[in-house]
Structures are given as structure tokens and as C-alpha cells.
Structure 1
């Protein structure tokens, strides 16, 4: 294989060393690049710019190819498009894109789709003059006249809350800064509004405030403050519209709801069921009772119900029992039906239960590897379920499904332009055996006709944290790799919940290393099955999946020809030891708290930054955003510097910093494709392909 010829004699950016010692539990760590956390230091900015310049020089030979890949992926997107409208409270809501424009236009029509269009927000106009612009949540008042919405123009996820009169077009003068983007709830009086304030240092939402439209935000009333910084909070309006709710949630550990009747906005919130360790629940209000999904004595969750006014757990009655092999993930309530989202063998299933006769059935699908989930269903009084379906070869599809007749109607399928033909590709589900005997699901897609002789390049992706399951859905961008001979695979490693709650429990805290070894074992398995070889095997993951990339390059650097780590969480100990860093305290249950010596030393044993050593590493491309609110830019910056210092090979380490964006990258629907094009050009260049 003739690989891309990297430019010769190009000096890597120089990073000064300023040793800083950290002492804990009798252990001393020396961090020579800690100073890079000074975001406002001109030397730091100069260094990051130098890294971007170095990357541009090293990848210069692929510039035309990147532009071709970008045009190719952009060419698959239907530029003039519209979301499937859904009806809520007398209006049809939808968003649409205009040709050549980056952002959506949010619209509605009264009663019928033939009514005149009302433009609520045109993000294209609003984003003019900004390098980054994101509209977060949008919420319409009960009388349909007022719109609350949030805006972030920095990519720090500190949103500003605004209000618009949809009858007159007036945007009200009050702006409330530093709020959560999607947590918005109107009371029933069409003037009182609840929102969450964020701590501007830790970026944790920690207070719920009540605002009355037309008043000075300085007069807003604090209605709830979360004192335990391990909990995240949310505010919402129930589907029944009867309640405003506040949820305090410690990920995968504990939940607590508070409810207030929306018709009494100045009243007090009442606790539904007090928080307990290892006790989670979510609820749906319906008529005079609540349905509850809970892991109380049910690791994979069970369904309960309880009357209004008797909400503590001793009043709960079981509706659907716990099952060891099925994870109960979601609940959607209708007047005559319940719809459960269930996960079994790493596949999402939809189960429909008739509320009257209790008969149930599963919605069936033809493909072996797919994902299905409930779409927008704001109406109780209907027998039509709207759900989404996709597979690794079937574009995202939205169906309206009659739950009585079991007939389905395809309402919209994402058009994939550029000559895509579904029948030219195939997907499959394999099971790899991990080193401890666990069976790890693997989802693959590739172009029909490839030979399983080890000659194929293969890109292996995974996440594996927080109980987040990676659905084997459709990715139109990957076609650019498949058409050039790549196999694309998702490793459903432990740390997600594809195989139920135990799958997550076996992949975090003191079992976190299972995530890394699962990924490595899947790579070895795909080589054994002759899908690829070490010389053609590539890996990609982002954020917590970027930690996975850092760990697997330390543990088995010989297994990968190239690795892309996007916004990677690689400095586990230092970050988790600093409660002022955004999101740290809420993650103790995921990674551990370094104040505990056992947790400290376990984290240190795998933390990518702490385990870089003198040895050969694969080719690496690392990405970050200067304004990243989830994983601070200085984590990958330090990691790159240390890798360059210690690695003993001639492979490249490239570092891309988006100086205008944060964790999610660019805000426009096309701009982010430039990052994808860079990533793909990197992999393909390592395969000797530059066209």
C-alpha cells in the first residue's frame, strides 16, 4: 500500500514546558503542559494557531480532495427541504431549509396545512454577522401567541432567553442571560415562565427561576436551587399540560421530580418521590394518574402507575414487570394505548399495549440491523403513533402508524441525493467475543461485492459511556468511505446500554477498562474474520469516545493504522480533581471522584494523558474547539504535546482547533461537513487515496 506522502522536514509546533506538580494519596504527578489551560494567554492562542497552520501544511496535498469530499457530502443533502409537520394545540409546526442556506426557518400554520405560513424565527437572518449561531429550545404559550426561545452565539452553551409576540412580531426587550438552552416551560396563564440559570464557571444548571413576561428579570423569583452539584436539573411542561415539573438527575443513579399545577404558577413545587441512591424514575401524567418507569428493584426498569395525590413509591402498582433480557427505555402515553421503547440484543423495539383489553404486540421490521424510536406525538386523543425508522442502509424514515389496524404509512423519508442506491450496500450484525467472554454486538455496513480477504480498510467507531447506546442508523456521509472500499463498523461496547443496564454497569467506574478492551477485541475479531488487517484498521470516537481513542492507542498502539479523536476527554485525573471545570461534579458517578484513593488510582491507570509513554503510536488526528464547554480545549492540546514529545515512531500527530466553535463543532448544516471531509481525507490519505 502506497500511503500519502507527508511533507518532509516540516517542524512541529514548539510547546514550552512549565512543570506543575499535583500530589494526592501519596502520589505525585508532574504536568509539564498544564499552563495551556490559560485561554486568554496570547502564547496559548499563538500555539493553537501554529497547530492549525501545521495541519494545513501537512494536509496540503489533500486540499483539493477535501473540497471534493465536502462537495460530495453536501451534494447528498436536499438543500430545499422541510421537516414533517406535526400538530399541537391547533397549529401545524415544521421547519424548512432554503437552497444554499445554512440554517432552518421555524414555521407554523393554523389548523390546516393549506393555511398561510407564519414564520416564527428565521435563523439565517438572525445569524448574520456571527461566526457561530445556535437556536436552542423553543416553546409556545398555551394561547399560541407567545414564543420563548434561546440563543447561543459563542458555542459555550450559555444561552440567552428571549420572548417574541407571534401576533405582532414584536421581540420583547427583556433578555435573560446564561440559561439552559432547552429547558423552557410556560405556565397556563400565558405570562409566567420557568427557566434554569447556569453557573458561568461550572456551566451547571443549578437554579429554577420564575419570570413574568414584561417585567424586569431582576424581579424574577427563585423557585428551586439544587444544592448537590452531582445532579443536573431540567424543567418541563407535562404532555397533559396540567403540570410544570422540575427534575433533578444524577446520571444512572438517582432521580427526583417536583411538580406544580400549571394553573397555579405562584404555588409551591411538591416532591413526587424523594431521591434515593440507586433509585431512578421518569413519569408521564395521564388523566387522574401517573405512569412511572423505574429501576426500583428492577435494573432494566419496569412500568408502574399511581393515582394523583398518592405519588410516593409505596403507592405504586406494577403494570409491566422487570425482564432480565429487555431494557425498558421509553414510554409514550395515548388515550387508548401505551407505547414502550424496549432494547433487546442491541436493537430498539416498539411495543404497543391497548389500554382497554391490555393486549400487546411489537411493530415488526424486515431488516436485521436497524433503529426505531417514537417521534413527535403531542396529542393524547389519537390512535396514530408517529415513529422514526432507519438502518445503516435505509435513510431516516417517519411513519404514521394506526395502533388499532396496525397499518403504517410512510410520511417522509430523507432524500439522499448524489446517486445513492440503497441496494448497492449491505449491513449485518456480528458478535465478537471479548477477552472475558462477553459477547459484544457489532454493526457493519459496506458496499456489496467486497471480498473478505483482509484487504479492506475498515473504520471502527464507538462511544461507550453514560449508558448511551449507539443506534445503527443511517449516516449519509459514510457513503464517501464505503464507495472507496471502506467497511464502516460500530462496536456496541460496554458502557452503553445496548444490552441492558448490566452492560452499562460493566463499563464505568471500576469496570471502565471493559470499554477499552471490548473495542480492542472487536478490532481483533474483525481482523480474524478477514474484514481488514492492522495495516487497514482505523478508529474514531469523540468526547468520552475520545477518551476511548486515547486509551486504545496507549494499550494497543500497534493495532491501528490511524486514529481520529474528536474533542477527546483525555486528562481524566486533572479534570475530575477540579470541581470548577464545567460538568466535573456531575460525572463522579461515571468516572469516580479522585478524592477517593481507590478511584484515583483506578482512573490514573487508564487516563490517556497520564499513560503516554516512550513507544510507537499510530497516525493521529485530534480535534477540539476553543470554546468547548464539555471537554476543555486544553485537554487534547496537552495530550498532543506529550505524544509528540514521547512517541518513537515516524507517524504523524495532527491537531485541528476550531477557533470559533465548541463541543459540537460548526453551527451550520454545511460547515460541519468540512470537519468530516478533513477526517475522511486523513483516513483515505493513509490508504494512499487522494481522489
Structure 2
């Protein structure tokens, strides 16, 4: 008889949580203490259980990892871009996990100058992430930031590029975001609250001074706002942005005058969002002013920046979302989204002969890339689809000719895009709304309900899920899987209203849209409940938690990464990073209406005695965005209440944060775990 491996059972210590004269009892609140040895012991027990129950897939995981890795060009490099007299390049060397940043002066045939070799910087560290990298205007210094825990707490240092020495300046426990003023000796950086990690301060640092002597330039008192500092593409202005979910405010300063006073561009008005781009004697402003929910483009003089002076350039359109602009000397480039698809519009400043770049597919994504040079006719953009690897293209806006600078290579000699089909279909939600689904699968698919299908979605923060290519995804497609992205409400896939209809007191639409897409895929016989799998991470993990409570019978398995599942408790704790800034997304549970609504869908609060799908849940001990205890408590409660014998795994990375393991191949090892979980459920073992 094989040994029966028993799952760990977390001890129950009831804690009463009182709010609005109501009491919730949380039996696993005690897991909210990473300093408690018993908590660490429980997480280690869950990890051991996961390892023991999946021991039979270990060799398969290694094989899947090697297969996915073999498709990736290990000695790869980015397309060089020219900035301030130097070509900048990011490259990887074979066998190395981290990038190398370098540059060449004036010509690509010049000697390579290594700026940072992250492989050396990451040596002997379980986690490493390079944050900001900014070159001084005179090209002699580089500021850089790094995180060695995964909690997004960075240290900033300065490197002298003439002799490769590291200056004594050291700025610790900050966000890692920083910019140079034009004097080559002043740095502005954003700092964060020690407890909540909210970015709330902008400091000024002079080279050669100590962090204790840095000058506080701005403090953001409103706990629902975050601040950051940036420099205009024209290099003329520094800009402090204060932003919440619904409201923006900028302050600007001439970059030649770092000791001057920042001045308000347009003071904050609740509900007014705007962003600014400098060009000549004007600022161009993308804004939702006057109820332009899909945004419009306006302009104003550099001397009169308040909204009373803004003049319309591109009017608001009900069917078209204005996403971004890119300014060149002779052209304005506009990124738009219509009917869920990206469009790139070229508008000469002369006012004559505007046009759109032509794209054929319905499951593609296109986006402007590194366009740091202002005085050029060449637009660099990226294009990919679910069957077409990513390309970086230089497009001459005057001659309308293009040059493909790089196409992602899929190594191994087996990939042929013609072996795959991509399509977009539309499911109908229960309220009649049409929900687009982007899909890819191998040609020759029979719609007989027997195909395994992985349905993915996010559905929060207005974050659109574009139809992109993935070489690692081929591992599933080549074994018969269909991969589907459900473009559910809560994202901005079909415009700003799509987002508005999936947040706050309409959040439930996000979850029911996903379920309705699943029902559609089953009804159309792409798959069946025995072969349907769901996946989401972070706020998409909340989606997974809600869906398995609402419609567990539709799914054979679920993957939830760093899942935000304890919504009410987290949103009531304003000491947790990100909480106060999230009130405009989820609602403020200190208000009873929002408290009640959140409680109606919060996955942790709505676990009941019922059958649940097979579930693989992953988290990181140092995650600053979704704390590890949310998935841990979720699993502990599921273990006690679920009425099935299906698999339930909690896999905690004890060294990483929200983004998982650092290093490009470490991430693929995590993917191999997820894929082996799915393939094992489908009894596919090679």
C-alpha cells in the first residue's frame, strides 16, 4: 500500500473582527506574522506537503523547464537605441540569469562599455532586481537602484562611468525611482512610508552629500495618493506626479534650475485625471476633463498651465480610448484602442496626411517602444499576436517604409506559426454584454468537448490583457491545450466604461463575466468542465477565489498566484502597503455600503462546505502587494471546509516577493510547476 500523505492542518485561534456593529470570526488571523516561528513552520509544512504530493512529477517538471528554456535564445540582446550620443543595449549571455547593460559611443561598431552586469551584482543573493538606471546629462555618471529582498524596497547608488568606481552616496529604503537634474550633480528621488510602503515623498540629493542631508521637496499628505518624479522627453522639465485611482496633479520645474520651486501645473480636482508632455512652447495634456471618459488631447502654453487655458486638439470619442501619445519634432503619434484592438495613428504637425499603421489580425497587440529621440522621423514600435512572435520595427513616418529590427527567435526548429490558429470570439454575459475572448490552439482542433483549455484573465485597475505571443505557452499548445484570454470587465479592453463597469459596486461583473466566458467555451464544445482550467494572479487571484466559490463545478483545476483573497480584512488595515490608495478601486470598507458589498464576494469570507476544483496556489513570503498570509489563510480554511478529495497546494517561495523569483530562468521553473500541475490532471506525462 502506498503511503497516504496527509495535508497539514493549521491550528485554529478564533479572532473576533468588529466593524459596523458586526462581528466576523477569523480562525487563521494568527498567520499574519512572518516573525512567528509557528507561521514559518506552517508554511514549510505546506511546502513539504506540496513537494511530497508532486514527487512523481519532479522529472517531468525538469523536462518541461528544459523544453521551455530550449526555445529561448540565451545569448540575446535588445535592439540598441540612441540617446544623447550613445547607443544603449541590454543583453543576456548564455547560461546567465540576469541582464547586462552596456553602451557604445556614437556608433554600433564602437567598443562596448559595460554599465552593469547584474549577474555579478546578484551573486550569492537569493533575490536581485535592478530598478532605476539613469545616465547623467553629461554621460559621466549613472544612478542605479536595486532590491535584494523582493519587497520593492530599494537602495540607490551612483556609478562614475569614467573610472567605474561607486560613489560613497547611498540612499536606502526608498522606491528606487530617481532622475537627474540638468546640472549633473542633483538627483530627485521618491521615498516611501516605512510601514505602508506608500510612495509619499520627493527628496533632492546633491552628489557627495549624505542621505540625512537630503532636502524634502514635497510630501503627499493624502493617504490615497502616491507620488513619483520624472523628466520630460524634451529634457527641459522635471515633473512630480501625485496620483490616485481617479485624480492626478502635476508640479513642474525647469530642469536647469534644480534649486528652484516646483509650481502646480493644474491643482487636483477629484475625478480629474491628466498627464502632460512638453513640446516647444506648449504642453500637451491627455485628460478626462468635462466627462471625457475615454480621454481627449488638449494643449496649453508653458506659461499658462491651468485647465482654464487648455485647448482641444483631439476630441473625446465614445468608441475610441485614447491611451498614450508620443511626441516627435515633426509628428504626433497617438496610441488608441477601438473595439478591443490597438491602433497607432500618425499625425504630422503640418496638419496634412494623417494615417493609421495597418494591422490585419484580430488577436494582436501593437505598442510604441523606445522612442527617446525627439528629432527623428523614425517611430519604433512593437507588434505581436498569439501566433506571431514579438517584433521590434522602425517605421519611417515620412517615407512610410519599415525595417524589422528584431523578431523574437523561437529556437529548436519546431515552431511554425502556420501550425496554430488564433481567433477572437464573443461570449454573452448574463446582462447581455458581449465579452471578447482571444484564443490560440493547434490547427485541426475538433470541437468535441475533450480539449483541455486554460482560461486566463485579470480584470482590475483598468489593466487591459492584450493578445500576446508566448514561446513557453507552446508547451501547452503542443500537448493539445487551448489557451484563452477572457477580456472581462474591470480591464480597459473595450474603453474606459469597460473598467468603470467592473469596479467598486459593479465588481461582481468581473467574476460573472469570467464564469459566462467559461460557460460559452463549454457550450461551444471547445472544452468541457472535466477539462477546463482557470488561471489568474494578484487581483486575478481574487478573480480565481471568487469564481471557485460561485461556480466550482465548471473547472477541473485552478491556478492562483499571489492571490488577493482576504479583501475585507486587508482593505480595513491601512498599515498594509497599497491599501489606502485602493479605495477608488474596491471601495472603502469603513463605509458600510462598501463593506457589505466586499463581504458579498471576498473569497476568504465566502468559503463554504462544497466541492472545489483541484487548486495550485503560490505566494511569496516577502510580497509587499498581496501579503503571503492571504493565500495561506485561504488554503487553511479551504482544507477544513471543502468536501472533496481534490488536490489543494500552497507553494510559498520563501525568498521572493510579488513578482516571484528573480532571474529569467527561475521564473520558468515556477511556470514548469504550474504546467506540470495542469498536465498531470490531464494525465499527460510527457
Q: Identify the TM-score tier after normalising by the shorter chain.
A: over 0.9
- Determine the structure 2 residue equivalent to 1:123: 118
Aligned equivalent of 1:393: 387
1:373 maps onto 2:367 in alignment:
yes
Deviation at 1:277, TM superposition (A): 1.1
Aligned pairs for 1:664-675 within 5 A: 664-675=659-670
2:179 and 2:230 in contact (8 A); partners too: yes
C-alpha deviations, 1:462-512, integer Å up to 9, x for none?
Answer: 000000000101111110000000000000000000110100000000000
Aligned to 1:175, what secondary structure does the other structure show? strand
Q: Give 1:26 shift.
A: 2.0
3-state SS, counterpart of residue 464 of structure 1: coil
SS at match of 1:471: coil
Q: Find the counterpart in structure 2 of residue 361 from structure 1.
A: 355
SS in 2 for 1:131: coil
Secondary structure of the residue aligned to 2:462 is coil
Pairing 1:294-305 to 2, within 5 Å after superposition: 294-297=287-290, 298-305=292-299
Q: Distance in 2 between matches of 1:87 and 1:256?
A: 31
Work out whether residues 7 and 57 of structure 1, in 8 Å CA contact, stay in contact via their aligned partners in 2: no
Aligned equivalent of 1:3: none
CA shift, 1:7, in A, is 7.1
Tell me, in whole angstroms, the C-alpha distance in 2 between the residues paired with 1:211 and 1:7: 64
1:10-89 matched pairs, under 5 angstroms: 10-89=5-84
Structure-2 separation of matches of 1:643 and 1:587: 27
Aligned to 2:221, the other structure's residue is in SS state coil
User: What CA distance in whole angstroms lies between the structure 2 residues aligned with 1:137 and 1:442?
Assistant: 36
Q: Distance in 2 between matches of 1:520 and 1:367?
A: 26
1:157 is aligned to 152
Measure the CA separation in 2 of the matches of 1:8 and 1:683: 23
User: For 1:296, what is the secondary structure of its paired residue?
Assistant: coil
- Could you report, residue by residue, the CA deviation over 1:405-429 in whole angstroms, capped at 9, with x for unpaired residues? 2111100011111222111111001
CA–CA separation in structure 2 for the residues paired with 1:187 and 1:467: 33
| Separation of aligned partners in 2, 1:61 and 1:100 | 27
Question: Which of 226, 233, 242 does residue 232 from structure 1 map onto?
Answer: 226
Q: 2:545 aligns with which of 550, 556, 570?
A: 550
Residues in 2 aligned to 1:7 and 1:122: alpha-carbon distance in whole angstroms: 49
TM-score (norm 2): 0.99
Matched, 1:273 2:266: yes
**Contact (CA 8 Å) 1:106, 1:120: kept in 2 or not?**
yes
Q: Distance in 1 between matches of 2:513 and 2:150?
A: 33
User: What are structure 2's unaligned runs of at least 5 residues?
Assistant: none
2:544 is paired with a residue whose SS is helix
Distance in 1 between residues matched to 2:496 and 2:667, nearest whole Å: 33
Deviation of the 1:203 alpha carbon: 0.9
User: Does 1:175 find its partner at 2:184?
Assistant: no
The equivalent of 1:451 in structure 2 is 446
Match runs of 1:192-207 below 5 Å? 192-207=186-201
The alignment partner of 2:530 has SS state of helix
Structure 1 residue 200 displacement after superposition: 2.0
Picking from 283, 286, 297, the partner of 1:293 is 286
Query: Could you say which residue in structure 1 is the equivalent of 2:683?
Result: 688
Please give the secondary structure, in 2, of the residue aligned with 1:452: coil
Structure 1 window deviating more from structure 2 (609-618 vs 171-180): it is: 171-180
Contact 1:101/1:124 (8 A) holds in 2: yes
Indicate yes or no: 2:247 matched with 1:254: yes
State the Cα distance separating 1:379 from its structure 2 match.
1.1
Tell me the equivalent position of 2:584.
Answer: 589
Q: How far apart are the structure 2 equivalents of 1:559 and 1:445?
A: 21
Aligned-pair CA distance for 1:234: 1.1
**Superposed counterparts of 1:319-330, under 5 Å:** 319-330=313-324
- Cα offset, 1:8, TM superposition: 5.9
Gaps of 5+ in 1: 1-5
The match for 2:206 is: 212
Aligned 8 A contact 1:7 1:58 in 2:
no
Q: Give me the whole-angstrom Cα distance separating, in 1, the residues matched to 2:48 and 2:410.
A: 34
Conservation of the 8 A alpha-carbon contact between 1:254 and 1:279? yes
Counterpart of 1:338 (choices 323, 332, 347) is 332
Moved over 6 A (4+): none
> Is 1:614 equivalent to 2:606 in the alignment?
no
CA distance in 2, matches of 1:548, 1:217: 42
Question: Out of 514, 517, 542, which is 1:522 matched to?
Answer: 517
SS of equivalent residue, structure 1 residue 314: helix
What is the DSSP-based 3-state SS (H/G/I as helix, E as strand, rest coil) of the residue aligned with 1:365? Answer: coil
Alpha-carbon contact 1:158-1:200 (below 8 Å) kept? no
> Is the Cα contact below 8 Å between 2:9 and 2:639 reproduced in 1?
no
